[in-house]
């Protein structure tokens, strides 16, 4: 028996033709802030069926983008701590 990952389920919800499933996917995306959901959310924003749906997806993307930025800043900090030249 193959078990789907939670991320796969949420991605499927985001791509659903049913508004309720899409909004459920957005709600989970806003809570979990997983980078794997970034592209499906961007696609959803481009093809949203309502301003509400688009706004909620934008909030989810904003939360994920902040998380990605923090991860990149952390990586930069590690390079600086290790004596790496980050200006090149």
CATH code, domain carrying 43:
1.25.10
Phi first, then psi, for residue 11 (nearest 5°) are -60, -40
User: Which residue range(s) make up the domain with 63?
Assistant: 6-81
User: How many domains does one find in the chain?
Assistant: 1
Is 65 a residue whose pLDDT tops 90? no
How far apart (Å, rounded) are the C-alpha atoms in residues 78 and 84?
A: 9
DSSP codes of every residue in 58-85:
HHHHHHHHHHHHHHHHHHHHHHHHTT--
User: Could you give the C-alpha distances from 25 to 44, 71, 81, in angstroms and in order?
Assistant: 10, 23, 38
Give the SS3 label for residue 9.
helix
Residue 21: inside a domain: yes
Residue 1: inside a domain: no
Residue 33: inside a domain: yes
Q: pTM for this structure?
A: 0.73
Residue 53: inside a domain: yes
Q: How sure is the predictor about 86, in pLDDT bands with cuts at 50, 70 and 90?
A: very low
């Amino acid at each position: 028996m193959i078990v789907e990952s939670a991320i796969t389920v949420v991605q499927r919800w985001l791509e659903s033709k049913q508004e309720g499933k899409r909004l459920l996917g957005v709600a989970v995306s806003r809570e979990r802030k997983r980078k794997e959901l970034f592209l499906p959310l961007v696609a959803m924003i481009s093809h949203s069926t309502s301003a509400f749906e688009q706004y909620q997806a934008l909030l989810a993307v904003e939360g994920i983008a902040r998380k990605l930025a923090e991860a990149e800043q952390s990586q930069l900090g590690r390079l600086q701590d290790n004596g790496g030249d980050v200006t090149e």
